Structure 1
Amino acid sequence: MQQAEPPEYAAVEPARTETPAEQADRNWVDLLQEFRVLQTGVQVLGGFLLTLPFAPRFQSLDQIQRVGYLMLVVLAAINIALLLLPIALHRRMFGWQRKPQLVAAGHVIARVAIAGVALLVAGIAAFVFDVVLGHLAGLIVIVVMLIFMSLLLVAVPRMAGGKRPRRRDGLWTPPQ
């Protein structure tokens, strides 16, 4: 009996043969895994932000830094709420046989959440530089981080993804 080649040497995977319901289930599971990663990261960042007012140095922040800090707390809270939205939608639509609509909504939510997390990470980095080195350093870091995040999270996936697969029977299929 001949052994199968390891995945790294195997030929490109042929198109899946799955029903629309199976594809929707698989896509939903993929989205949930992405949401778990995002939600954990946002909750950790938000938790650290919530500890800052209890640090002795917090009282020495100027008005701009305090406003920046509060904006980051609100942004973290918005991101957490956004990442809870797919769960709320799933609870609402449970048993309605609308998984494709749920997946479509989850896709949009995931894209918005990725942008929100990028803003949060850039904002936190800028806040730290602002507190440690001053307002100019914070401003430079926010600009650099936003450019970097845009390249990393928008440009790289577009270049790596190639052409968008063609749509057939409501399913995304690989190009022929």
Structure 2
Amino acid sequence: MRDDMQPETRQEQVDRSLNELLQELRVAQAGVQILFGFLLSITFTDVYQERTGGFERGTHLVAVLFAVAAVCLLTAPVAWHRLAFRCGQRPRIMHQANRTTVAGLVCLAGSLAAALLLIAEMVLGGVWAFVLAGVPTALIGVVWFVVPGRWPRSRVNLR
């Protein structure tokens, strides 16, 4: 609702929703960029070079690939907004941005899971590495995807 207590117009609703999404993306992008920087930097450490085998390097590569995908998917709506916001494309941007944002969050969760597994393997190894990485990964899945998936859906549709 606007300050004058009139219902939002369709265009106002789309504009507000897009602005809220872009704000949310700023938070997610910062996190994924920090994770990506960490994943890139560890490859140049002596400990990584000396102590990692095929499993750790493969897990690291998976984490990096998921992080790259997350960066791509989470920054796409920003690029679309910048390139097409004055072309009457905001409803289309919102529709696609919702999809890429969720896909980006899935990739971010995958990167976090792989990074946790890599670190747990380096510290503990064996089955405990999978347990230590699996518990927070499950928590991410539940909190990010299961909980909001159980909320009742609004009748508002921004597609």
Whether contact under 8 Å (2:95, 2:158) holds in the other structure is: no
Deviation of 1:69 after TM superposition, in Å, equals 0.9
Cα pair 1:75 1:116 within 8 Å, conserved: yes
Are 1:29 and 2:29 matched, yes or no?
no
Instruction: Find the partner of 1:61 among 52, 56, 60.
Output: 52
| TM-score normalised according to structure 2 size | 0.86
1:140 aligns with 2:131: yes
- Tell me which amino acid in the other structure corresponds to 1:47: G
Q: 1:20 to 1:127 in 2, by over 3 A?
A: same
SS at match of 2:43: helix
Is 2:141 aligned against 1:150? yes
Could you say if the C-alpha distance between residues 18 and 100 of structure 1 is closer, same or farther in structure 2, counting changes exceeding 3 Å? Answer: same
- Which residue number corresponds to residue 81 of structure 1? 72
Distance 1:72-1:53 versus aligned 2 partners, 3 A rule: same
C-alpha distance in structure 2 between counterparts of 1:150 and 1:41, whole Å: 17
Q: Write the letter of the residue equivalent to 2:146.
A: A
Distance apart, 1:139 and its partner CA: 2.1
- How far apart are 1:102 and its partner, in Å? 1.0
Root mean square deviation, CA, Å: 2.1
Give, as a single letter, the amino acid of the residue that structure 2 aligns with 1:94: F
In structure 2, the residue matched to 1:165 is 154
1:124-162 residue CA offsets vs partner (Å, 9 max, x unmatched): 111111111113222223433332222111222234x3x
Is this contact kept in 2: 1:122–1:142, CA < 8 A? yes
The separation in 2 between residues aligned to 1:166 and 1:76, in whole angstroms, is 34
Give aligned-pair identity as a percent.
Answer: 30
Higher helix fraction: Structure 1 or Structure 2?
Answer: 2
Structure 1 segments, 4+ long, off by >4 Å, are none
2-side partners of 1:106 and 1:63: how far apart? 36
